[in-house]
Chains A and B, each alone.
Chain A
Amino acid sequence: MAFLLLIFSIAPPTQVQAIDKPNDAGSAIIIEWGFSKDDEAIEKYVIFRSTLPDTMRVKIGSIIRGNNSFEDDNTDDKKQYIYIVAAVKDDATFYSMPSDIVQSSPQFFNTGRTNILVCILVFIILLVFFVQRARMGKKLFVRKIPGLDAVEEAVGRATEMGKPILYVPGLGDIDWTATIASMNILGEVAKKIARYDTPIIVANRWSVVYTVSKEVVREAFIEEGRPDRFKEDYVRYLTEAQFGFAAAVNGIMLREQPATNFFIGRFWAESLIMAETGAQTGAIQIAGSDSVLQLPFFVAACDYTLIGEELYAASAYLSHEPLLMGSLKAQDYGKLIVFVILILFTLLSFFNIDLLHLLEVQ
């Protein structure tokens, strides 16, 4: 009798709503419901689906009590569905009323990413504005970056000593922005090398980075009017194995004794292994990375370190190209805008005005 009473006392979930999942590629429906009044007493909610015109219920999943939404990510955009949610306790099931008919569909614009679109547009406007100003001959101030000022000296030293320069463009593949920034710096360093006629060794971990860096160095030699001085052996492919690569670079440093080592790009745990070996050979070392965890190692073992965004400013700084200098200014203003927004939104949140959700990306 008590058992029967318990069964009859369980209330089913209420107000089952099924909606097409927004901002997706289709094939997904979100089901939401009001908690069963006996949510504390039940075990879980089970979700059933009927595909019209057939009305047969099929179980598609379950979720523990305390939850009131479920995503069905296996729907056909051409079909219509009805959902029922049931509260389950032991072997007893208590069904809700069915939802309205729903159909999934893909969307053409992810509204959850509007904020990114706005940011990109604002940034492009800033970029174009400052590049135009630079084009008109407006002088832009850029603070001194000792690591980049030392590049000229480092190349000159290698030339005087008659020793090669080692350039490691990081261990990231070409899809890391740090690697791309490194390619830009390599272009500037290679031009100086072509001018001084100093040998360079560019050690690569990834095949695509190898082909890109080879072209960058070759183009720099052409740009300096010395294509005949470029040697295929200047740019080398070593291995994809992380520590195998570190061992190979150490081998180059110990055997060929480069006068200057550049470690510029994305690095992981191998950073200190390479930088400390370089320090032992007595080479001038210039490092640059956006890997926050590796920066302390570079600071400890290298003569100069480009920290974070200095890496991205390097090609503008080295080339003195007004257009690139203009882009640095745009970058600074972009950062200023974000700081102002963050501080403003945080202050507003103290007054229960929550705008921080506008910064969330889906």
Chain B
Amino acid sequence: MKRRIPLIICFAIGILMIIQFMIPHPISREFGSTVNKWYIVLAAFALVLAIGNLIRHHGTKIRRKKTNWPYSIVTLTSMVAMSIIGFAGGVDPKSLYQTIYLNVLAPLGSTMFALLAYYMASAAYRSFRARSLEATLLLAAAFIVMIGFMPFGQYISPRLPAFAEWIMKVPNMASQRGIMFGVAFGSIATALKIILGIERSWLGGKK
């Protein structure tokens, strides 16, 4: 019974949402919007559970003085402080919350993003090796594109930038579309398998 109820709910809502997609009538739209509102309400409850997990995990770390426990104090203090600042001072563009968001969180995010340059270099060095025919082709294509898009590219050959652009627009785009086709079918199949109750891994198993 514990398994059957979620399966029934999943089947019923899944089929209703497919039907809802086909009907433009306001009643159908109202139903779709209600389901979305339900999702928001459920997400709010889930957030309480998630924050509970965060507090419990870091609280335990601090209490038991596990390795690196001072970082947990930083996490919990930041979370509580930002919540109080947000609730007390609002989140308007000129509020303290926004100021902290734009001047602390945004630059920290940008810093993490910037690390990508370093990681790209080390990953390219490690993985771009001509181990096989396929890897050699990949390496050659990568070289042409990189050099073609650089200002130096035109000095090597005036046709190189255009060739690099062709690689991006034609073979690259074609393979991407091939993958996207597969992804689209996989998504549809997964959705239908779950709605029809064939896929039950999300419930822990087949029984």
Query: Which residues of A approach B to under 8 Å, CB–CB?
Result: 23-26, 106-110, 113, 116-117, 120, 123-124, 127, 131, 175, 177-178, 180-181, 183-185, 187-188, 191, 204, 206-208, 210-212, 215-216, 218-220, 222-223, 232-233, 235-238, 241-244, 246-247, 251, 255, 269-270, 272-273, 275-277, 279, 290, 292, 295, 297, 299-301, 307-309, 311-313, 315, 319, 321, 323-324, 327-328, 330-331, 334-335, 338
- A241 CA to B115 CA in the complex, in Å? 16
B185 pairs with A307, CB closer than 8 A: no
A106 pairs with B201, CB closer than 8 A: no
CB closest chain-B residue, reference A277: B119
B187 pairs with A127, CB closer than 8 A: no
- A127 CA to B191 CA in the complex, in Å? 12
**B187 proximity list for chain A (CB < 8 A):** 177-178, 290, 312
- A64 CA to B109 CA in the complex, in Å? 44
**B176 proximity list for chain A (CB < 8 A):** 292
Report which of B71, B127, B204 forms a contact with A301, defined as CB distance below 8 A: B127
A109 pairs with B183, CB closer than 8 A: no
**Can you list 15 A-B contacts with CB-CB less than 8 angstroms, sorted by A residue number?**
A107-B23, A108-B24, A127-B198, A178-B187, A180-B190, A187-B205, A211-B49, A212-B202, A216-B201, A236-B54, A269-B113, A276-B122, A312-B187, A319-B201, A327-B198
A-B contact count (CB 8 A): 221
A247 pairs with B203, CB closer than 8 A: no
A208 pairs with B194, CB closer than 8 A: no
Report which of A124, A183, A338 forms a contact with B201, defined as CB distance below 8 A: A183
A300 pairs with B192, CB closer than 8 A: no
Report which of A25, A232, A312 forms a contact with B25, defined as CB distance below 8 A: A25
B123 pairs with A279, CB closer than 8 A: yes
Residue B193 at the A interface, CB < 8 A?
yes
B204 pairs with A216, CB closer than 8 A: yes
Interface secondary structure of B, over-half rule = helix
**B116 proximity list for chain A (CB < 8 A):** 269, 272-273
A290 pairs with B185, CB closer than 8 A: no
B186 pairs with A312, CB closer than 8 A: yes
- A244 CA to B112 CA in the complex, in Å? 8
Q: Given the interface contacts A210-B53, A232-B53, A331-B189, does A244 sit within 8 Å of B108 by beta carbon? A: yes
Interface secondary structure of A, over-half rule = helix
B22 pairs with A110, CB closer than 8 A: yes
A127 pairs with B190, CB closer than 8 A: no
A308 pairs with B192, CB closer than 8 A: no
A127 pairs with B109, CB closer than 8 A: no
**B185 proximity list for chain A (CB < 8 A):** 309, 312, 331, 334-335, 338
Q: Given the interface contacts A243-B112, A279-B126, A292-B179, does A220 sit within 8 Å of B204 by beta carbon? A: yes
Residue B16 at the A interface, CB < 8 A?
no
A273 pairs with B112, CB closer than 8 A: yes
Q: Given the interface contacts A210-B46, A210-B49, A211-B50, does A272 sit within 8 Å of B181 by beta carbon? A: no
- Min Cβ gap B62→A in Å is 14
